Homo-oligomer: A and B are copies of this chain.
């Protein structure tokens, strides 16, 4: 039901195909984020037209609203969202540690308060897995502990220990053959801890591995310093997923380190905040200089927005507070990310991935 085939490697970069019950994903792949069961402001048909194959939804948000039971009653995530392609859900752990108010962390799990209504809730490896079984995504994630960075060695080692113990409990709790459970490697910027975590997870039967605890405040260089060795540590034959990353140059560096899957809210969040991605950098679309500009957001872009609308119109929509501004800019940004990934895939096969920075200077210029 799941299969990962590497078609070509170029140095450490991999061009692969990840097969899931809801279709194939060409890797390296970027997954748009549908936090609460919708990629904000975008319909599934618009999303598909951007070239997205696989998307992500957040267990934490869906568990709070509408709840996993309601999602299941409404037919599971694919039916709910009207998206029949592959979906990945995270475990909820990252949001619990970043959005919610933590009351208590023990080896059993986490007691926290909903950021929406303050309700007291718990999440542990078993419940996070059960919730994801109910949601029904193709790929589900182990429940891990993501320590705040920077942190001392002891805290980091303790988080890795717990992540390892919790990973086994997730694997034990997992019930659905049609879902692939991925393990999450923690360890911060400490390569010894990363290696220890990988060594422990590899024997547990995970169908893929994620690198957690990155893109949480460290510099680009710090992230890269972990990515390359981690690429060496992980099994070659399983998909690798860098959670929550990121800007084009982060993605490029990770692809060069052998990472296959990415997700990030930037295309849609920046789109709502009037920032449009282009190969040479981001445009601030509320700026006066776009006022009578008949050019599209990006020359040569084949998205619905660029084929039909001018920068002047999109500026007008932002200034007038029109919803369509966010939708059109998000569509473009999502398409930008998919064009970037598609070109990365082509250049891996052509053994000249470095050339991506000529076509997309943003991949070296913007952090």
Binding site for B on A (CB under 8 A): 36-38, 40-46, 61, 65-66, 70, 73-75, 79-82, 291-292, 294, 304, 308-310, 312-313, 315-317, 319-320, 322-324, 326-328
For the complex formed, measure the closest distance between the CB of A153 and the CB atoms of chain B, giving whole angstroms.
40
A70–B308 CB distance below 8 A = no
Chain B residues within 8 Å of A322, by CB: 36, 38, 40
How many copies of this chain? 2
For the complex formed, measure the closest distance between the CB of A96 and the CB atoms of chain B, giving whole angstroms.
18
Chain B residues within 8 Å of A82, by CB: 308-309, 313
Cβ contact of A74, chosen from B40, B45, B70, B310, cutoff 8 A: B310
Cβ contact of A312, chosen from B36, B38, B66, cutoff 8 A: B66
Known: A45-B304, A66-B291. A38 touches B317 (CB 8 A): yes
Known: A65-B320, A66-B319. A43 touches B75 (CB 8 A): no
For the complex formed, measure the closest distance between the CB of A129 and the CB atoms of chain B, giving whole angstroms.
23
B74–A327 CB distance below 8 A = no
- Cα distance, A158 to B104, chains bound together (Å): 75
**Residue from the set A70, A292, A324, A327 with the largest chain B CB neighbour count within 10 Å:** A324
B36–A313 CB distance below 8 A = no
Chain B residues within 8 Å of A46, by CB: 43
Chain B residues within 8 Å of A61, by CB: 320
A316–B73 CB distance below 8 A = no
Chain B residues within 8 Å of A36, by CB: 316-317, 320, 322
**Residue from the set A70, A73, A291, A313 with the largest chain B CB neighbour count within 10 Å:** A313
B74–A294 CB distance below 8 A = yes
For the complex formed, measure the closest distance between the CB of A48 and the CB atoms of chain B, giving whole angstroms.
12
- Cα distance, A38 to B315, chains bound together (Å): 13
Chain B residues within 8 Å of A66, by CB: 291, 312, 315-316, 319-320
B70–A291 CB distance below 8 A = yes
B44–A294 CB distance below 8 A = no
B43–A327 CB distance below 8 A = yes
For the complex formed, measure the closest distance between the CB of A319 and the CB atoms of chain B, giving whole angstroms.
6
A-B pairs with lowest CB-CB distance, top 4: A82-B308, A66-B316, A73-B292, A41-B323
For the complex formed, measure the closest distance between the CB of A66 and the CB atoms of chain B, giving whole angstroms.
4
Closest to A316 in B: B66
Closest to A116 in B: B320
Chain B residues within 8 Å of A327, by CB: 41, 43, 323, 327
**Residue from the set A45, A304, A323 with the largest chain B CB neighbour count within 10 Å:** A323
- Cα distance, A75 to B313, chains bound together (Å): 10
A74–B43 CB distance below 8 A = no
- Cα distance, A61 to B319, chains bound together (Å): 12
Name 26 interchain pairs, CB-CB below 8 A, sorted by A.
A36-B317, A36-B322, A37-B320, A38-B322, A40-B322, A40-B324, A41-B324, A41-B327, A43-B46, A43-B304, A43-B324, A43-B328, A44-B308, A65-B316, A66-B291, A66-B316, A66-B319, A70-B292, A70-B316, A73-B292, A74-B294, A80-B313, A80-B316, A81-B313, A323-B323, A323-B326
B38–A310 CB distance below 8 A = no
- Cα distance, A39 to B324, chains bound together (Å): 8
Beyond contacts A38-B317, A74-B310, A327-B327: 15 other A-B pairs, Cβ-Cβ < 8 A, are A38-B324, A41-B323, A41-B327, A43-B46, A43-B328, A61-B320, A65-B319, A66-B291, A66-B312, A73-B312, A74-B292, A75-B310, A80-B312, A80-B316, A82-B308
